[in-house]
């Protein structure tokens, strides 16, 4: 079999961890494939699609092309249609199919960490990452709530309406992030608070963290955020976002070639990816 060719596109793209992660996944699967990063400015997307992207076996997409790529594709899977966003494309038999692997990456990461999506589930923030997580929780029939800043109350209200419009049976509410009361079974941080270089920041106070049974932080830089450190110090089950980044890449490979991976190999890759990130 001839070597296959893959890439990640975005603008800017210099910070991406995708080549490191995907090259390792291809190696683990014993696949003969290369993977590169392509910096494509928005105004060049149509030209690059014709001249470059359509000739690849597949590619990943990051900001700012996750919506802009859609008109060029032949079809979308159901989740990509629901989210209106694509981060993985498979070119097969002359057809380009778009997928979104972020939702499955979130669920795989939660499951791999041993965190059960049950009880009182709270998502911090109401941006794009929070939206992805919220839809997956709602699709599983679990009630949940957003905790947001005062200035984001209107945005949170609109997001709740959007969720219940698409998933009528969803049970979702929202409140203020600085007024969290009572215990929380699953706390999910979908804000950028605690991301490098402001690694010492926490999205909520220590007293609130102390009432959380388990914590998932979508931030992957640093590998262990202040929130995760505090939760673990309290004896809570806690996981950072590197696992979500790696697991969504795993789902891309399943779409491309059906590869399967051992959890132990993915755990090792998460640690190695964090070390590589530190080098950058």
DSSP 3: P
What order of strands is seen across the sheet that includes strand 172-176? 172-176, 144-148, 121-124, 184-189, 212-217, 237-239
Is the backbone peptide bond immediately before 12 cis, with ω within 30 degrees of 0?
A: yes
Give the chain's end-to-end CA distance (angstroms, integer): 34
Which one is catalytic: 4, 66, 155, 279? Answer: 66
CA angle, residues 148, 222, 116, in degrees to nearest 5: 60
Beta bridge partners of 7: 36, 59
State the Cα–Cα distance between residues 23 and 160, nearest whole angstrom.
Answer: 38
Tokens coding 20 = 């490191």
Q: 81: closest CA among 100, 65, 101?
A: 100
Q: 36: closest CA among 59, 57, 54?
A: 59
Beta bridge partners of 39: 10
Residue 66 known to be catalytic: yes
Tokens coding 114 = 């041993």
Q: 237 in the Ramachandran plot: left (φ > 0), alpha (ψ -120 to 50) or beta? A: beta
Active site residues: 66
């Amino acid at each position: 079999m001839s070597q296959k060719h893959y890439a990640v596109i975005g603008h800017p793209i210099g910070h991406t961890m995708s080549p490191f992660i995907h090259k390792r996944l291809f190696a683990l699967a014993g696949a003969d494939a290369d993977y590169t990063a392509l910096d494509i400015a928005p105004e060049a997307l149509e030209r690059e699609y014709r001249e470059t992207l359509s000739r690849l076996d597949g590619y990943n997409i990051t900001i700012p092309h996750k919506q802009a790529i859609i008109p060029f594709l032949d079809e979308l899977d159901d989740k990509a249609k629901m989210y209106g966003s694509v981060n993985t494309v498979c070119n097969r038999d002359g057809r380009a199919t778009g997928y979104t692997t972020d939702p499955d990456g979130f669920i795989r990461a939660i499951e791999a960490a041993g965190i059960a999506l049950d009880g009182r589930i709270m998502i911090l923030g109401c941006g794009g990452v929070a939206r992805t997580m919220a839809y997956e929780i709602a699709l599983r029939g679990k009630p949940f709530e957003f905790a947001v800043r005062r200035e984001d109350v209107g945005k949170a209200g609109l997001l709740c309406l959007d969720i219940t419009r698409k998933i009528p049976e969803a049970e979702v509410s929202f409140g203020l992030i600085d007024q969290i009361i009572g215990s929380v079974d699953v706390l999910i941080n979908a804000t950028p608070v605690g991301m490098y270089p402001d690694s010492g920041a926490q999205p909520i106070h220590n007293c609130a963290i102390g009432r959380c049974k388990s914590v998932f932080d979508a931030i992957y830089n640093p590998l262990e955020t202040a929130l995760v450190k505090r939760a673990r110090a309290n004896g809570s089950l806690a996981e950072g976002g590197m696992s979500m980044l790696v697991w969504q890449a795993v789902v891309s490979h399943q779409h491309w070639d059906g590869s399967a991976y051992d959890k132990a190999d993915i755990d090792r890759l998460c640690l190695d990816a964090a070390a590589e990130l530190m080098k950058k």
